[in-house]
Every structure is written in structure tokens, then in C-alpha cells.
């Protein structure tokens, strides 16, 4: 009897030939958020106030009130997050097609380059070289940038904020045009606090990842972890943002399904 893909998946999950890898950082009050120039509104960090913990406020139960920005911790950017995506249909988290929450991922490893240069810029030329080496980036994939930046979480080097701003790797406009228009990516998934490079405000065009991704109905995933545990091809990302009415993004749990090589 032929077995359905989901049955096969279930079996693979059960016997661990497909593993779930957590790509999510823990939401905690001290997890850094993006820093904007002080005169702009700021991104609220994660906060938790106890409501009760088996005490006089609730003898048998424990729960907390939590608060945060839509873009706090490991989070999803919907197209409406950026001005370029403001008029697109289904551009908020409650409206984005559910089908997009599960998608394959291709991992582009720029960890060496990023280690050598925190301001490393991913260009179209780099991607073309990469494809020459690894093969063409398939359509409708998440593009995950492995930078190993997640290993810096808990240190000042994660935001890497200097007097002239943050310094972290990211794509330029040419790379984004290429990924969006020529490779039809689902979105860009990064370990850094934003999809754009730390200094991308000074790029031309500025903030190309946000601008081009969201202007074309694509998504961002930020503050991911464990991208180094994914294969270059073949993993599947499950990323379901909260269904916030008119929301621009959402903190979420992101996992990757990864096939283990048979023993």
C-alpha cells in the first residue's frame, strides 16, 4: 500500500529520521531588541509580570502577563512591516497565506566572511559564486543566512553597537533583487536582529532587505538560532506567526525539519 506523504513524515518523525531543530531564541527580558535612533519610537523588550504562582493571587495556578513588541525576540516580519509593503494584499500576519508558514529552506553559509568582517555585505556576485559551487537556489524557499551570529547572543557583539551604529552582516540591494525576483524566495531568515545589515541604513538603496522583501510580499525571520545545524538544502521551516489582527509581525516559535542521513 502506498503511504501518504504525511504518514511518511509521521514515521520519519517517530523514528527520528526527521528531526525537529529549534531555531528560536528564548524570550527573556534581557534579549536585545533592535535599536533605532532615539527620537524614533522604540521596540519594547519582552516583559513578564507574574499574575499568580500558587499563591494568594491564585492558589493552584501559575501564570504571567507578558508584553513585548511584535518584533521582539525570534520574530516574523510581515510585508506590512515596511512602507514598501503597505499596500499589498494580505500583508499583515493575520492575513498572510497559511501555506507560507511551512516552506523549504536553503542555507547560505557566510559565517567565515562574517567572522572576518562584521560588516560583510552579501552581494549578487557572491550568490552567483555560491550557486556555481552549490547549485542553483530553488524557488519558493526561505533563504537562511548562516552567520553564526546567534553564538554572540548574551554578548555586546550580538548587536555590535558602536558609535556609528550596529555592525552585522546582511545583503545589499543586488542580492535582494536577485533572491526575490530571480529565485522567488519565500523570505530571508537571519540570526541577526534584523534582516538588513547593521549599517544598511547607509546602503543605496537603504535597508534593502526590508525594502525589497516586504515590497514584494516576502517575509523576514530574525533572531534565529542554530542555522549551523541545517543542511544547505533539504530542510523545511515551520514558522507560524501569531494571528494578530493587522499585525506587522510576531514573535514565534520557529522549527526546522531536518532529514538525518541514514545510519
Partner 1 sequence: MTEPLPTPKRKDPLGRSTLGHVPPGLRSRAATEMATYAAQGRFVLQSCDRCRSVTYPPRDRCPTCWGTLTWVDQDSGARVEAVTTIRHSTDNFFRNHMPWRIGTVRLDAGPVAIVHLHGDVHQGDRVRMTLRLDRGGNPALFAMPKEETPNMQDDPQLRCFTAHPKHRRILVTDGRSAIGQAIARALLKAGAQTVFLGDADPLMRYPGKAEIEAQEGIEPVSLNMTDSGSVQELAAQLGGRVDIVINTACFVRPGGVAFGAKLSDLQAGFDLGVLGLVRLAQGFAPAMSARSDDGVNSAAAFLDILPVSGLSGQFGYAGAAASAAARLSLLSGLRGEMQQTGIRVLSVLTGPVDDDWHQDLPQPKVVPGQLARAVVHALTEGQEFTCAGDVAKDLFARWQANPLLTMREENR
Q: Which residues are catalytic?
A: 81
160 vs 216, which CB is nearer to partner 1?
A: 160
Q: How far is the CB of 58 from partner 1 (least distance, A)?
A: 17
> How crowded is residue 245: how many other Cβ atoms within 10 Å of its Cβ?
8
Question: 109 has which bridge partners?
Answer: 146
User: How far is the C-alpha of 207 from the C-alpha of 172, rounded, in Å?
Assistant: 8
Residues near partner 1 (CB under 8 A) are 29-30, 32, 35, 38, 41-42, 44-45, 47-50, 154-156, 158-159, 161
Count the alpha carbons within 13 Å of 244 in the hemisphere toward its beta carbon: 20
Provide the phi-psi class of 27: left if phi over 0, else alpha when psi is between -120 and 50, else beta: beta
Rounded to whole angstroms, the Cα distance separating 216 from 41 reads: 25
Q: Which three cell numbers stand for residue 254?
A: 520557529
Please state the closest distance from residue 153 (CB atom) to partner 1, in A: 9
Question: Minimum distance between the CB of residue 171 and partner 1, rounded to whole angstroms?
Answer: 25
Amino acid at each position: 500500500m502506498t503511504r501518504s506523504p504525511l504518514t511518511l513524515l509521521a514515521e520519519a518523525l517517530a523514528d527520528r529520521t526527521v528531526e525537529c531543530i529549534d531555531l528560536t531564541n528564548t524570550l527573556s527580558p534581557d534579549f536585545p531588541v533592535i535599536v533605532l535612533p532615539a527620537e524614533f519610537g522604540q521596540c519594547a523588550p519582552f516583559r513578564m509580570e507574574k499574575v499568580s504562582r500558587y499563591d494568594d493571587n491564585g492558589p493552584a495556578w501559575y501564570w504571567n502577563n507578558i508584553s513585548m513588541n511584535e518584533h521582539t525576540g525570534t520574530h516574523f516580519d510581515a510585508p506590512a512591516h515596511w512602507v514598501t509593503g503597505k499596500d499589498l494584499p494580505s500583508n499583515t500576519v493575520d492575513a498572510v497565506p497559511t501555506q507560507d508558514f511551512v516552506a523549504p529552506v536553503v542555507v547560505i553559509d557566510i559565517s567565515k566572511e562574517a567572522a572576518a568582517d562584521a560588516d560583510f555585505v552579501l552581494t549578487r556576485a557572491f550568490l552567483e559564486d555560491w550557486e556555481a559551487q552549490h547549485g542553483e537556489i530553488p524557488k519558493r524557499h526561505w533563504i537562511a543566512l548562516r552567520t553564526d551570529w546567534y553564538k554572540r547572543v548574551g554578548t555586546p557583539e550580538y548587536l555590535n553597537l558602536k558609535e556609528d551604529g550596529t555592525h552585522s552582516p546582511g545583503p545589499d540591494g543586488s542580492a535582494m533583487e536577485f533572491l526575490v525576483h530571480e529565485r522567488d524566495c519565500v523570505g530571508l531568515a537571519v540570526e541577526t536582529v534584523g534582516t538588513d545589515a547593521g549599517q544598511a541604513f547607509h546602503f543605496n538603496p537603504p535597508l534593502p532587505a526590508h525594502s525589497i522583501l516586504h515590497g514584494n510580499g516576502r517575509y523576514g525571520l530574525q533572531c534565529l538560532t542554530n542555522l549551523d545545524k541545517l543542511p544547505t538544502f533539504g530542510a523545511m521551516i515551520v514558522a507560524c506567526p501569531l494571528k494578530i489582527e493587522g499585525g506587522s509581525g510576531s514573535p514565534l516559535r520557529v522549527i526546522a525539519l531536518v532529514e538525518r542521513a541514514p545510519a
